[in-house]
Structure 1
Amino acid sequence: MSDRKISILLVEDEENLQEALKLNLELENYEVTGVYDGVEALQAVQHEHFDLIILDVMLPELDGISVCENIRLQNNDIPILILSAKNSSADRVLGLKKGADDYLTKPFNLEELLLRVSKLVEKSQRLAVRKPLEQQYQFGKNSIDFKALECITKDGEKVALTKKEIMLLKLLIENKNEVVTREKILQAVWGYNVYPTTRTIDNFILSFRKYFEEDSRNPKYFHSVRGIGYKFTEY
């Protein structure tokens, strides 16, 4: 591991809060870059590497949800913590759907914020050292050959897979044990301008369960997380 400081982009238009958060984060030995609007935030992400983004929702120029969505469009996995005065479950779900990793409502406890930042930094460090998947991946009695576009199922049967199936499997397995949002799947597998219905992704998951699960009604590997996305689990 290098000795470089963890770098955080803080996007907050309220000057007093920006200064207070910056000070407290720097006291925790983080390196903090502060910006005050959404456009500045996107420019900063394009020109610098950050380990974490702390992002207010109500911003001038471009709101935080749009900033989050834009960052995810670039297939950027950087962890994002949203800060918002909106505390309804609908607002929270929207933030998570658009790609945020965590959502904290204002006013918040500083200790809680620092704890969440610490957890997201750990995630960022795991992403940085994550090895790319090998050409073949095995789990349980199953194996997937990403290059040949085929798999061996739980029953030992060889099945040809479509390119979309391979892309979705790869995305879920690369993020194993973590929920991948529906929005991220749409962007990474289908491309942003093509919007299949939730049913389409569900059908892919059902196919995976048929191929790989001993009991498709009680899946061990492929899970739907209601209202948010999907998860591949392997411990």
Structure 2
Amino acid sequence: MKQRILVVDGDAACRDALRVCLHASGYDVAVLYEPGKMEKRLREERPALVVMASGAVLGSGLAALKALRRSGDDLPVIMLGERDDAVERIVALECGADDFITKPFNAHEVLARIRRVLARAKDVSFQDPASRPPFSFDGFELDFASRTLRFRGEAVPLSERDYAILNLFTSAPNQVLSRERIAQGIWPETPYRPGSVSAAVHRLRRLIMSRSAIPDLIQTVRGTGYVFCSS
């Protein structure tokens, strides 16, 4: 399955240059003109990485980045600076940008930096699971080190697929995950099939509902995907 890159920039020439280069390199590309609408877009589809204009004059790109990081989302973001300004670069990095590139840019340099950031993000995501504390919700405890789930102290049988989906959900509680995003996390080398994702989530939902007093821990977002509701 192709990794999706979201390009957020009001400059059509920049968007087109990146779209052509990234498509030629095997990426799927989505575009957005206004950073202020990024939060809504991320609820509908989850890219692997965002390339976003900083909006140095209006600050809209930086504001969107700040909001993303305040929410606890560590989605990789590369900022595109409007001018060669050290202050702008420093502010973007301090706001949580993973990298910063000044316009005008070479699209192939952006591609190289995207690959580097994605590789770094992958290394982090596959760190020792024992370093992540157990996740508790409604009487359940998911232990990432042992890949086990318990409900009020009793073991709950989980298949590898069940664990993979629950791991995704607990990594992004209260965030909408698209069916495609879930499929990418579970079957990264397999063509995307919405029906397979629906069946897998339905099985996990039944497993949890058979024990939980809260029936809507995993909610369907019509036309989009699912959200794991955790207080």
TM-score by length of 1: 0.52
What's the offset of the Cα at 1:114? 1.2
What's the offset of the Cα at 1:74? 1.6
Tell me, in whole angstroms, the C-alpha distance in 2 between the residues paired with 1:101 and 1:11.
15
Cα deviations by residue, 1:186-221 (Å, 9 ceiling, x for unpaired): xxxxxxxxxxxxxxxxxxxxxxxxxxxxxxxxxxxx
SS at match of 2:104: coil
Kept after mapping to 2: 8 A contact 1:79/1:123: no
Cα deviations by residue, 1:111-137 (Å, 9 ceiling, x for unpaired): 21111011011123223333434489x
Runs of 4+ in 1 over 4 A off after TM superposition: 59-62
- Aligned residue among 119, 123, 130 for 1:122: 119
Kept after mapping to 2: 8 A contact 1:53/1:79: yes
Is residue 36 from structure 1 mapped to residue 5 from structure 2 by the alignment? no
Cα deviations by residue, 1:136-194 (Å, 9 ceiling, x for unpaired): 9xxxxxxxxxxxxxxxxxxxxxxxxxxxxxxxxxxxxxxxxxxxxxxxxxxxxxxxxxx
TM-align CA RMSD: 2.3
Aligned residues: 133
Tell me, in whole angstroms, the C-alpha distance in 1 between the residues paired with 2:132 and 2:18.
44
Q: Which residue of the partner structure matches residue 104 of structure 1?
A: 101
Is residue 57 from structure 1 mapped to residue 54 from structure 2 by the alignment? yes
SS at match of 2:52: strand
What's the offset of the Cα at 1:59? 8.3
Cα deviations by residue, 1:18-46 (Å, 9 ceiling, x for unpaired): 12211111111111110000122221122
SS at match of 2:129: coil
Identity %: 24
Tell me, in whole angstroms, the C-alpha distance in 1 between the residues paired with 2:58 and 2:101.
22
Which amino acid in the other structure matches residue 69 of structure 1? K
The 5 A counterparts of 1:54-203 are 54-58=51-55, 63-134=60-131
SS at match of 1:13: coil
TM-score by length of 2: 0.53
Q: Higher relative contact order by CA 8 Å / sep ≥ 6: 1 or 2?
A: 2
SS at match of 1:29: coil
Kept after mapping to 1: 8 A contact 2:56/2:88: no
- Aligned residue among 4, 15, 23 for 1:26: 23
Extract unaligned runs of 5+ from structure 1: 137-235
Which amino acid in the other structure matches residue 109 of structure 1? N
